[in-house]
Amino acid sequence: MSLSRQDVAKVASLARLALSADDLDRMTGELQKIVGLVSQLAEVDTSSVAPLAHPLDAENVFRADEPQPSLTTAEALQSAPRHDGECFLVPAVLGESGAA
Domain ranges of the chain: 5-42
Amino acid identity of 26?
A: R
Question: What residues contact 24, with CB distance under 8 A and at least 6 apart?
Answer: 5, 8, 9, 12
Q: Is the pTM of this model over 0.75?
A: no
- pLDDT > 60? residue 19: yes
5 to each of 18, 26, 34, 65, how far by Cα in Å?
Answer: 14, 10, 15, 58
Task: Give residue 96's pLDDT.
Answer: 66
Q: Give the up-direction half-sphere exposure of residue 65: CA atoms within 13 A in the CB hemisphere.
A: 1
The CATH class for the domain spanning 5-42 reads mainly alpha
Question: How high is the mean pLDDT of the chain?
Answer: 88
- pLDDT > 80? residue 24: yes
> Residue 13 — pLDDT band, cuts 50, 70, 90?
very high
Question: What residues contact 2, with CB distance under 8 A and at least 6 apart?
Answer: 32, 35
